[in-house]
Chain A
Amino acid sequence: MRKITLLVIAMLIFVSCTKDVDFNQANDIQISPAVELSLIYTQAYASNFLVNGVEVATTETDFIEVDIFNDQFINDNVTKVDLHFETENTLPREFLFNVNFYSETGAYLHTYSFTTQEESPHIATFEDNNLNIIKNTNILEFTITLLSGEPLTEDTPGSISLQSKAIFYFNIES
């Protein structure tokens, strides 16, 4: 009889049970990483603004075509973008920076401006309605403009530097 009891106990142990689990919870998955990426940088000395020793160019400009803002994954999941610029100016003149945003077809979308008179860093935040500007941007144009003042010469000491990064805030849901 004892053996039979043992056998029955053994058999009972082999019958397993489960508690409630809900695998649909995986649909609620939501993660919000923040990714930062180097953007543009520049450093200029007095000589960069001189031709034959005379200050001529008051504005330098150039552009880059950026695909990254049009990436489908970024477009679908980004909730906020910060463009973070830091300036350091040891030249005896002040500068104005313009960042112009254009669409793929070249349509003007937006301008973000800052001067070296303002305190660094300069942060352009795009979220909610503004976010569409970034999502539609394909061309970023950068300009640096000398603000009026004592003319620069070859001997003017110092430099103006600009460093930047883009911070993408995501909210990824399944």
Chain B
Amino acid sequence: MKNALLLIMLFSAFCFAQNKQILYGFSDIPQTLLLNPGANVNQSWHVGMPLLSHLHINAGTSKLTVYDLFADDNVDFNAKLENAIYSLNNKDFFTATQQLEILSGGFAFGPTYQKDKYLSFGWYQETDFIAYFPEDYAILAYEGNVNNTNRVFNIEDLSFKSELLSVFHIGFNKKVNNKLTYGIRGKIYSSLANITSTSNKGEVITRTGTNNLLSHTFNLNMAVKTSGVSSLLNDDNSNVSEDISTLSERLLFGGNLGLGVDFGFTYQIDKQWYADASITDIGFINHKKDVENYELKGTYVYEGVDPLFPDPAGGTADNYWSEVEEDFEELFKVDTTTTSYTTLRPVKFNASLNYAFGKRRLKSCDCLQENNGYINKVGAQLYAIKRPEAPQLALTTYYYRRLFNGFDAKATYTIDSYSFNNLGLGVSANVYGLNIYAMADNLLNFKNIYDARSVSLQFGINYIFSKNEN
């Protein structure tokens, strides 16, 4: 028990975003194939309602909530700000993810007596943002360097990444036998806009000097890489709607292109137990169009100038001072380059162990084709995502129940460093082939959404033809 608790603590030290713990394994919904291309498929074909088949919004903060800072509570804002600055560290982050499926569909194929293969495809748009709290920058700006002699201010603390992309994908799913189903999905990414600054290095230190009271060391190696952004900023118009139309032209292969792949499987251990796992978005994007990178590189140690008895003698003090000023200008000069660069997609890993139980007694039920007719499932899911500074993990336990024919619900409890009390609920309703689903987590925080450390919402409408209706 103690070990389990330790394990949970360890998991909570990392964090999660983009987690779709409610949708994962929700086999009534075709979009679960995007989380695991090797998930069990129950339908013979599906078509997503264009633009409405999958909407996902997620925002998270690992520690500070909007309410912590902006609550209308008569507490001095600067006191709250100070509290925020000193409670956050460089491992804390803010994330936002949004996905919108534009088109999607799929169909089963194979021998007529046993259509054991499923082809699914689609096109979706995604926005992904993560920024870590730049702790040392914040402290330096808030306190200054007085009383911080010898403190190392890390340039590395600045780390953020933002991407707007569209993804075309086609996936193949095969039920090998009653035990094993596997799947693979290929993806073409078209990055509309990207801003990446995740490999900053160096430090700024104020030390006690040898010639003078203080010695200032600047060791800077910083870069912000952008693609698809400079053409929007440097165009003649300041009209946002024109920028949006420029962006939407890139949706269809018009951006910087990349490739990716997803793998997954489901394994039926016995009648009631099954396990599954997937790894998604193993891929890269090569940014070479519309690239503009900003680089700041240099090392400089400054102690001051000697105006009276300069060494070497001869020059005037003002010459030495001008040299110092030029050195500083050189140090802080930003170089602009157009060198192409490659970004890796955030690889995601999902795995679950599940147990189905409780057969429905009603004879009118036609849901027997799935899970041997069990209407309850419980399980544990593990989620991990690779992020610039450290992987983020989440552990979910869930209870799934077919409430009545065509109406399923899944309740989840997730542990992550956002919170220990993340309850989620998802429902999926099928009426005459029309499938509507909605999911949300952090329900306990819905009484005050501003105090939630993360909010995740998913919604979608599909048209699904079940196998038994064929």
Evaluate contact between B306 and A41: CB separation under 8 angstroms. yes
CB distance B443 to A41 under 8 Å?
Answer: no
Interface size of A by CB at 8 A reads: 53
Assess whether A17 is in contact with B449, with CB atoms less than 8 Å apart: yes
Across the interface, which residues of B come within 8 angstroms of A33, CB to CB?
140-144
B78 an interface residue at 8 Å Cβ cutoff? yes
Q: Is A25 a contact partner of B70 (Cβ separation < 8 A)?
A: yes
Q: Are A35 and B321 in contact (CB under 8 A)?
A: no
Tell me if B321 and A66 are in contact (CB < 8 A). yes
Q: B448–A19 contact, CB under 8 A?
A: yes
Residue of chain A at shortest CB distance from B75: A25
Contacts A67-B325, A164-B304, A165-B213 given; does A35 touch B145 at CB 8 Å: yes
B67 and A21 form a contact (CB under 8 A): yes
A66 to B140 CA separation, bound complex (whole angstroms): 24
B78 and A163: CB pair below 8 A?
A: no
A-chain residues with CB within 8 Å of residue B308 when the two chains form the complex: 42, 44, 60-62, 142, 144, 162
Q: When A19-B71, A28-B77, A38-B216 are in contact, do A62 and B307 touch as well, CB less than 8 Å?
A: yes
- Check A19–B215 contact: CB distance below 8 A: no
In the complex, per-residue mask of B135-152: 1 if CB is within 8 Å of any chain A CB, else 0? 000001111111100000
Partner of A13, one of B71, B211, B425: B425
A13 (CB) vs chain B CBs: closest residue: B443
For B446, list chain A residues within 8 Å (CB).
13-17
CB distance from A98 to the nearest CB of B (A): 11
> CB distance B71 to A21 under 8 Å?
yes
Q: Which residue of A lies closest to B438 (CB)?
A: A14
The one of A23, A38, A44 in contact with B303, judged by C-beta atoms closer than 8 angstroms, is A38
Verify if B382 is at the interface (C-beta below 8 Å from A).
no
Q: How far is the CB of B414 from chain A (nearest CB, A)?
A: 16
Contact of B235 with A by CB under 8 A: no
User: How would residues 26 to 47 of chain A score, 1 for a CB under 8 Å from any chain B CB and 0 otherwise?
Assistant: 1011110111111111111000
> Could you tell me the distance in whole angstroms from the C-beta of A30 to the nearest C-beta in chain B?
5
Contact B81 A29 (CB under 8 A): yes
Could you tell me the dominant secondary structure of chain A's interface residues? strand
Contact for A65 among B72, B77, B322, CB less than 8 A: B322
Distance to closest chain B CB from A165 (angstroms): 5
Contact A30 B78 (CB under 8 A): yes
Q: How far is the CA of A17 from the CA of B213 in the complex (A)?
A: 56
Contacts of B209 in A (CB 8 A): 38, 41, 163
Complex contact B71–A16 (CB within 8 A): no
Tell whether A10 pairs with B71 under 8 Å between CB atoms, given A42-B309, A65-B318: no
Which of B81, B141, B317 is in CB contact (< 8 Å) with A62? B317
Query: What is the minimal beta-carbon distance from B448 to any residue of chain A, in angstroms?
Result: 4
Given contacts A3-B404, A19-B448, A30-B78, contact A36 B206 (CB under 8 A): yes
In the complex, whether A69 has a CB less than 8 A from a CB of chain B is: no
**Within the assembled complex, what's the spacing in Å between the Cα atoms of A81 and B437?**
63
Residue A111 interfacial (CB < 8 Å): no
A48 touches B325 (CB 8 A): no
Residues of B within 8 A of A22 (CB): 70-72
The smallest C-beta distance from B347 to any residue of chain A, in angstroms, reads 31
CB–CB A65/B321 < 8 A: yes
Q: Which residue of A lies closest to B302 (CB)?
A: A38
Q: Is B409 an interface residue (CB 8 A)?
A: yes
On whether the beta carbons of B309 and A44 are closer than 8 Å, the reply is yes
Chain B residues whose CB sits within 8 angstroms of the CB of A25 once the complex forms? 69-70, 72, 77
Q: Are A18 and B78 in contact (CB under 8 A)?
A: no
B83 at the interface (CB under 8 A from A): no
- A19, B450: Cβ atoms under 8 Å? yes
Q: Are A6 and B318 in contact (CB under 8 A)?
A: no
| B337: Cβ under 8 A from any A Cβ | no
- The one of A10, A34, A66, A164 in contact with B213, judged by C-beta atoms closer than 8 angstroms, is A164
Q: Are A63 and B317 in contact (CB under 8 A)?
A: yes
**A164-B304 Cα distance, complex, nearest whole Å:** 9
A-facing mask of B64-76, CB < 8 A → 1, else 0?
Answer: 0011011110001
Determine the chain A residues whose CB is within 8 A of the CB of B145 once the complex forms: 34-36
Cross-interface CB contact of A167 among B81, B141, B146, B438, cutoff 8 Å: B146
Which residues in B have their C-beta under 8 angstroms from that of A15?
A: 446
Quick check: B307 and A42 within 8 Å, CB to CB?
A: yes
Contact B440 A41 (CB under 8 A): no
Within 151-174 of A, Cβ neighbours of B (below 8 Å) are at 162-165, 167-168, 170
A20 at the interface (CB under 8 A from B): yes
Bits for B305-326, please: 1 = Cβ < 8 Å to A, else 0. 1111100000011101110010
28 pairs from A and B in contact (CB 8 Å cutoff)? A6-B403, A6-B409, A17-B446, A17-B449, A18-B450, A21-B450, A25-B77, A26-B77, A29-B81, A33-B142, A34-B145, A35-B144, A36-B214, A38-B214, A38-B216, A40-B212, A40-B305, A42-B307, A42-B309, A43-B306, A43-B309, A62-B308, A64-B318, A66-B321, A142-B317, A144-B308, A163-B209, A163-B213
Interface residues of B (CB under 8 A from A): 66-67, 69-72, 76-78, 81, 140-147, 206, 209, 211-216, 302-309, 316-318, 320-322, 325, 403-404, 407, 409, 425, 427, 438, 440, 443, 446-451
8 closest pairs, A vs B, by CB? A33-B144, A38-B304, A16-B446, A34-B146, A62-B317, A41-B212, A64-B321, A20-B72
A residues whose Cβ falls under 8 Å from a Cβ of B: 3, 6-7, 10, 13-23, 25-26, 28-31, 33-44, 48, 60-67, 84, 86, 142, 144, 162-165, 167-168, 170
Other 7 A-B pairs with CB < 8 A, given A13-B440, A62-B318, A163-B213: A25-B72, A35-B144, A36-B144, A38-B212, A39-B304, A40-B306, A42-B309
